[in-house]
Amino acid sequence: MTLFTSLGDGYVRRALIEVVIVGVLCGAVGVQVVLRRLSFLTTALTHATFPGVVIASLLGLGLVLGAGLFGVLVVAVVAGLTGPRGRERGREASSVIAVVLSGGFALGMALQSTQDGFSRDLTAFLVGSVLTVQPGDIVVSAVTALIVLGVLVALRKELLLGAFDPDGLAAAGYPTRRLDLALLLVIEATVVTSLPAVGTIMAVALIAGPAATARLWCERTAPMTAVAIGIGVASGVIGLAVSDQWNIAAGGAIVLTVAAFFVVSLAVRSLSPGEARVRPSARQKSAGRPTYSG
């Protein structure tokens, strides 16, 4: 059975719509994650939202709602501890993020261990279960994607300037703390939205992977964003098709497809005779970012 012939099943259609929405969202947000080198922070957020899932399950609330609310709390803590006052006290952002990552996930596991019988229910939020999404989940994902994409478009100039020249952003008088907080909230919203598709453990791959692949091919941010969105959507659809064809976990198939795109692109770029000609300039390479242009 192929994905095309399975589209008559409602759950397959819902899963397909969900992976397309999540692919667009993760591709667009992933560009900011890659440009700002926030992959480790994104990993921390995916792990740190797990206690919210457990608490919501204990209280009988929506698991995505619990993850989202707890994620906002985590973002506030990270933003507070890594801000100017935190740096004045000698706190390093990477150390704070590492503590949040390990502490948050450990809290979730501790809470889970206090209850018998529902560990199986939470497994889907560790590795994803896109085939079980309901119409309400799709609506939430679509609304979240519209809001996040709207924020990215509205703050496009400021976010790009902050990615390439954070000191210049501050010197120009922009509210850097509020912009950083807005970006953290955007990343957290993307993490929570991607949970049904790939779960907390693999969400970072779907966010950072397509953008990292696009970065191998693009020198400008606008094409990089378009390519990242395309890879995100393609990875979701191909992964879902592989899952349907060979009866394997959809989340794992999607993430493996993301990894395959990256590995193949890396290999082709390494072997391409024209690589030196299209490679970014030495100064761009040292900065690790594409050209600052639309």
Tens digits of per-residue pLDDT, 134-170? 898 899 999 999 999 999 999 999 999 998 888 888 8
C-alpha–C-alpha distance, residues 19 and 46, integer Å? 18
What is the model's pLDDT at position 130?
86
Give all domains of the chain, ordered by start, each with its CATH number: 3-287 (1.10.3470.10)
Question: 178: Cβ–Cβ under 8 A, 6 or more apart, which residues?
Answer: none
**Among 19-33, 100-114, 167-181, 225-239, which stretch is predicted with the lowest mean pLDDT?**
100-114
* pLDDT value at residue 121: 56
Separation of alpha carbons 158 and 155, rounded Å: 5
Predicted TM-score (pTM) of the model is: 0.83
- Give Cα 79 to chain centroid, integer Å: 18
Distance CA 87, CA 282 (A): 31
How far apart are the C-alpha atoms of 2 and 244, rounded to whole Å?
A: 7
- Per-residue pLDDT at 92: 57
d(CA 52, CA 2): 36
pLDDT tens column, 201-234: 788 999 999 999 999 999 899 999 999 999 999 9
- Residue 162, both tokens: 């902050």
Q: Provide the pLDDT for residue 32.
A: 95
Contact 74, 49 (CB under 8 A): yes
Q: Which long-range contacts (CB under 8 A, 24 or more apart) does 177-186 make?
A: 177/79, 177/83, 177/84, 179/155, 180/79, 181/75, 181/79, 182/151, 182/155, 183/32, 183/36, 183/159, 184/41, 184/45, 184/75, 184/78, 184/79, 185/72, 185/75, 186/29, 186/32, 186/148, 186/151, 186/152
Output the pLDDT for position 16: 92
- Residue 131: DSSP 8-state: G
Inter-residue contact 259 to 206 (CB < 8 Å):
no
Alpha-carbon gap, residue 271 to 74, rounded angstroms: 43
- Mean pLDDT for all residues in the chain: 82
Give the chain's radius of gyration (CA, Å).
Answer: 19
Task: Provide the pLDDT for residue 87.
Answer: 43
Helix or strand holding residue 57 (H, E): helix 50-59
- pLDDT above 80: residue 35: yes
Is residue 84 predicted with pLDDT exceeding 50? no
pLDDT of residue 166: 87
CA angle 127, 131, 136 (to 5 degrees): 105
Higher per-residue pLDDT: 116 or 66: 66
The pLDDT, as a whole number, for residue 273 is: 67
pLDDT at residue number 287: 47
Which of these, 202, 203, 186, lies nearest to 146 by C-alpha position?
186
Task: Tell me what percent of the residues of the chain surpass a pLDDT of 90.
Answer: 37
Question: Does the pLDDT at position 191 exceed 70?
Answer: yes
Mean pLDDT throughout 122-142? 83
Residue 200 has pLDDT above 80, yes or no: no
Give me the residues paired with residue 220 across strands: 291
Task: Measure CA of the first residue to CA of the last residue in the chain; give whole Å.
Answer: 43
Strand partners, 291: 220
Q: How many Cα atoms occupy the beta-carbon half-sphere of 126 within 13 Å? A: 11
Please state the rounded mean pLDDT for residues 181-195. Answer: 91
